[in-house]
Structure 1
Amino acid sequence: MSHPMPDYRIQGEFQTLLASIMNGIVGEAQAIDFYSRLIQMAPNERNRQAIQHALDDEKVHLELFSQLYTELSGQQPQYTFNPVQFQTYQEGLYKAYEGELEAYEEYRDVYLFTMDNRVRDVFLRAFTDEIEHAIRFSFLFFDQKL
Structure 2
Amino acid sequence: MFLIPDISRSIIGEVHAYQFYQRLAELAPNEQNRQTILRIQRDEAKHYRWFTMIMSNLGGQQPQIPTGEVPMTFREGVRTAINHELEAAAFYQDVAYRATDRPIEMHFMHAMHDEQRHASLFQLMLSSL
TM-score category by the smaller chain?
over 0.9
Shift, 1:76, TM fit: 4.6
- Paired position in structure 1 for 2:122: 137
Equivalences for residues 1-146 of structure 1 within 5 A: 14-15=1-2, 17-73=3-59, 75-144=60-129
User: 112-121 vs 21-30, which deviates more?
Assistant: 112-121
How far apart are 1:95 and its partner, in Å? 0.4
Paired residues in the alignment total 129
Q: Which AA in structure 1 matches 2:50?
A: L
List gaps (5 residues or longer) in structure 2: none
Q: Deviations over 1:26-76 (max 9, x none)?
A: 000000000011100101111011101110000000000000001002x55
**What whole-Å deviation, never above 9, does each CA across 1:96-116 have from its counterpart, x for those lacking one?**
010000000000011111231
Q: Normalising by the residue count of structure 1, what TM-score does the alignment of the two structures yield?
A: 0.84
- Largest Rg, 1 or 2: 1
Secondary structure of the 2:128 match is helix
Instruction: Give ranges in structure 1 of 5+ residues lacking alignment.
Output: 1-13
Q: Matches of 1:45 and 1:114 in 2, distance apart?
A: 39
Q: Distance in 2 between matches of 1:116 and 1:28?
A: 21
Q: CA RMSD in A?
A: 1.1
CA distance in 2, matches of 1:116, 1:78: 21
CA distance in 2, matches of 1:97, 1:82: 20
The alignment-based identity, stated in percent, is 33
Tell me, what secondary structure is at the counterpart of 2:69? coil
Q: Where do 4+ consecutive residues of structure 1 move more than 4 Å?
A: none
Q: Distance in 2 between matches of 1:78 and 1:124?
A: 22
* Normalised TM-score (structure 2): 0.95
User: How far apart, in 2, do the equivalents of 1:139 and 1:132 lie?
Assistant: 11
AA at the equivalent of 2:65? T
